[in-house]
Amino acid sequence: MRCPYCGFTDSRVVDSRLNELGDVTRRRRECLNCGRRFTTFEKVDEIPLTVIKKNGEREPFSRNKLLDGILRALVKRQVSRERAEQIVDEIEASLRNDFKREVTSKELGEMVLRQLRDIDKVAYIRFASVYREFKDLEEFTQELKKLK
């Protein structure tokens, strides 16, 4: 590991800790040349996930894009950002545990809806209204009836 201060390529690990999910290792290092300390993060290089959109287009899975959609549904609701991030973590872990390389946007949306249904009904309806593209009030009402 190259020291960010002097550029020396050798250091010793002073402390190592896993994050809450256990997927990232935080290491405190000390440069063997200048003695200054710095932090590095190690994460396993995973197989990229691809999302197949409704129009057949493929794009790389984006945690941020999924999180943004969930956060929009949770605006002014009593659900923390940490909980929203946990939803994304759980969905991504589920996809990786199933060894999926590709997922349709429909599958992804259904996974979010299953999570939101148990957390916040209003956020569920908000997300469903965008995701399912309700065409009229009748479709919206049918979704509300299913929720009850």
Same domain, 33 and 80: no
Residue 19 — pLDDT band, cuts 50, 70, 90?
confident
Q: What is the pLDDT of residue 112?
A: 95
Question: Is 98 inside any structural domain?
Answer: yes
pLDDT (tens digit per residue) in 47-88: 789 999 989 999 999 999 999 999 999 999 999 999 999 999
Same domain, 142 and 72: yes
Question: Is 3 inside any structural domain?
Answer: no
Name every residue whose Cβ is closer than 8 Å to that of residue 41 and which is 6 or more positions away in sequence: 24, 25, 26, 27
Question: Is 2 inside any structural domain?
Answer: no
Same domain, 100 and 117: yes
Assign 144 to helix, strand or coil. Answer: helix
Same domain, 83 and 118: yes
Same domain, 22 and 62: no
The total number of structural domains that make up the chain:
2
Same domain, 128 and 60: yes
Which of 47, 112, 105 is CA-nearest to residue 86?
A: 112
Same domain, 70 and 142: yes
Question: Is 1 inside any structural domain?
Answer: no
Same domain, 129 and 95: yes
Question: Is 122 inside any structural domain?
Answer: yes
Same domain, 143 and 71: yes
Q: What is the pLDDT of residue 33?
A: 97
Domain of 61 in residue numbering reads as 50-147
pLDDT (tens digit per residue) in 97-126: 888 889 999 999 999 999 999 999 899 888
Hey, what are 108's tokens?
């992804």
Q: Does residue 44 carry a pLDDT above 80? A: no
What average pLDDT does the structure give for the chain? 89
Question: Is 31 inside any structural domain?
Answer: yes
Same domain, 17 and 37: yes
